[in-house]
Amino acid sequence: MWLPSLIGKLNIQKMNSMGCKLTAEQIYSINQSSLKDAVVALDRGSCTAELISADGLLLTNHHCGFGEIQKHSSVEHDYLKDGFWAMKREDELSNPGKSVTFLIRMEDVTDQLLKNVTDDMDDAVRSSKVREVSSKIEKEAKGETGYETRVRSLFEANKYYLFVTQTFRDIRLVGAPPQSIGKFGGETDNWMWPRHTGDFSMFRVYCAPDGKPAEYSKDNVPFHPKYFLPISLKGVEKNSFAMVMGYPGNTTRYRTSNEVKYTMDVVNEIRITAREAKLNIIRNFMATSQKARIQYASKFARSSNYYKYSIGQNKGLVALDVIGKKQDIEKVFLKWVNEFPERKSKYGGALDTIFNSFNSWEEKVAFQYAREALLGGAEIFSFASEASSLYAALKGGDSEKIKGSSDELRSSIEEYFKDYDATTDQKVAGVLLKLYSTKVNPKYIPGFFQEVGTKYKGNFEVYAQKMFEKTIFADKAKMQDFLKKPSQKGLDKDMAFVAMRSIFETMSTISQDLGKTTTGLDKARRIFVAGLNEMNKEIAVYPDANSTMRLTYGVVDGYVPHDATYYDYFTTLKGYSEKGISGDVDFDFPQRLIDLYHAKDFGQYADKDGTLHTCFTSNNDITGGNSGSPVINGDGELIGIAFDGNWEAMSGDIAFEPEIQKCINVDIRFVLWTIDKYAGAGHLINEMKLIR
């Protein structure tokens, strides 16, 4: 996960030897257009997308556009089931809140920022100094440009980079295949290979007539980017060069062995337990009707993705003996540290501090269960929290603030209740509140649990039923009536609002105790990583992912997942006929796709072997946030869209294993075939620059 600004120094020679024909300047430049100008952070980095036309046409994953597709869907216009294609520009659908962010430049500002920072400085003083200088750097870089500027830390705050960006907010939905293509295989195939999923959707970036970012307006025009990616129809071959540019979200590859154990035994196990209970309830509701399926499709997908990820990560960490490998690194590090007194003085206590921070797990268990079972459990508590500013205004008696807060809350009602089922949320609340009560230390139990114990005899389902009957936050009409004449007394008596406040009070207590057990942890991590990098100073290293632009390079290839098995590097449309099960929730397929397959109507998108390739694997290094990233060949042409990692290497966020870790990509020819042959949206193909 290399910083693009450093590839000229660290990587380009090796990249060229592997088949990359580009210069470092053609990949990342601040003086001329380059590949980086065609790659954007989608929604502040939740996904990645790429420009593929001079008129701002944008390509990303289907699951990255899933929320927008779901929001635009209804029983009458079920775009999840049937797909959506704008046949004219005026048919493209606006999406309030969606954004794309371009990287203008990145700059190493470490020396400037740490000029007056010393190793013996108190952590609080150090942090204050870093914030002060960062703010100054950001302000000076921003000037009158209208750009956004932000200083980000790397290598556990041993390095600092300034990132200058520009964000556009008028992003319109152009096209998406039906879910039976865009999510073919569903939860069953998630994180798995072989895959046959057409995981893509299309948007367009709009701007003001002067080319600057602007909120949605009918007067806005398509954005003309500095650069857009040409698209290759040549296909891919085994061992051919492939690189991915994008915005990977978060990796923790410098974490120690005991921190990995904590991730496995606490973070992942709690996520699995809580989400399994929640997903079972939502799954049952979604099966009741088309409306229910549409309402909860996006919520289910968001929750289930990292539920399955956590299962796979734990399996991968065990199978690859990551804890053992981390312990070996720590032994080598300690031996190196103890060779010289000055090293021992500088780095000697770092590992002990980190280990001691994870001796106590009670408050950490409570924190994770609070995140998953309370804050991330029933939706009603997070919705009730949106009334906090109104409550403060009512308490203060400020009529202007009361009106403002009421109006703000009122504006969110339609959107919230459109995709909300109170009965389902009530079931989630009952199950997860009970789960929390059985799993954490009693000192971290919210105050309202006592009422459940006394008044409702410990029956959380009965408590949840009563709360949902009485609260205003589970009923649209009650909410609207309350906001006509809001009162502090009404919120003080509302069971959901009272429970929400109790939950946040408990979270505050947990956070305070967390702070006590992790004193010095950030400093110890910084010192440990600084020591590792000094120990390995002859080796080129990259920082953990943090939602800033990165480049990863490698080759297209298959892999051996386990003994006596080899997975080839590509799949074909034949897989739909082999896997497809008509009407199945995961493996349903469009009849038109099967008809086109039997007719062998592949057009210019067929491979030289005569088949239509659907997906392929490469050994590129990706993680969450890379979804939708362009996969680019040695000529700088788009060959695919990254959309997943493989099950056998779910440990990759903690320890990269190049022999087994694979990036799963949609073949760009399958994307174009779906747009052209399946959807009949050839006008979109005409916008692109195709390389044959």
Q: Residues 602-627: pLDDT tens digits? A: 999 999 999 999 999 999 999 999 99
DSSP 8-class letter at 30: S
Q: What is the pLDDT of residues 438-453, one digit of tens each?
A: 999 999 999 999 999 9
Confidence of residue 30 (pLDDT cuts 50, 70, 90): very high
Residues 6+ apart with CB under 8 A from 33: 226, 227
Distances 30 to 107, 245, 348, 372, 520 between C-alpha atoms, Å: 11, 16, 41, 43, 39
**0.85 exceeded by the pTM?**
yes
Q: List the Cα angle 76/77/82 in 5-degree steps.
A: 125
Which pLDDT value is given to residue 658? 83
- And the tokens for 269? 């196990």
Tens of pLDDT, residue by residue over 148-172, are 999 999 999 999 999 999 999 999 9
**pLDDT value of residue 360:** 86
Are 475 and 381 in contact by the 8 Å Cβ rule? The answer is no
Segment 529-545, tens digit of pLDDT: 999 999 999 999 999 99
Query: What does the pLDDT average to over 87-107?
Result: 97
CB-CB neighbours of 32 under 10 Å? 10
Contacts of 30 (CB under 8 A, 6+ apart): 104, 105
- Between the CA of residue 170 and those of 89, 221, 688, what are the distances in Å? 14, 10, 21
Domain boundary assignment for the chain: 1-99+169-249+547-692, 257-517
Percent of the chain with pLDDT over 70: 100
- Expressed in angstroms, the distance from the first to the final Cα of the chain is 30
User: Given 3.30.70.250, 3.30.930.10, 2.40.10.120, 3.30.70.580, which CATH number is that of 1-99+169-249+547-692?
Assistant: 2.40.10.120
Alpha carbon distance 1, 542 (integer Å): 6
d(CA 85, CA 369): 42
Residues 114-146: tens digit of each pLDDT: 998 987 888 889 999 999 999 999 999 999 999
How many beta carbons lie within 10 A of that of residue 380, not counting itself? 25
- Angle (CA) 477-479-482 rounded to 5° is 110
Beta carbons of 413 and 420 less than 8 angstroms apart: no
Chain center to CA of 532:
28
Query: How large is the angle between the packed helices 448-455 and 460-470, nearest 10 degrees?
Result: 110
* pLDDT at residue 3 tops 90: yes
Q: Determine if residue 280 is left, alpha or beta; phi over 0 gives left, psi from -120 to 50 gives alpha, anything else beta.
A: alpha
Distances in Å between the alpha carbon of 531 and those of 255, 340, 363, 656?
A: 13, 13, 30, 20
Active site residues: 63, 199, 627
Question: What does the mean pLDDT of the chain come to?
Answer: 96
194 upstream amide cis, omega within 30 of 0 = yes
Q: Taking the CB of residue 86, how many other CB atoms lie within 10 A of it?
A: 18
Indicate the length of the chain as a whole number: 692
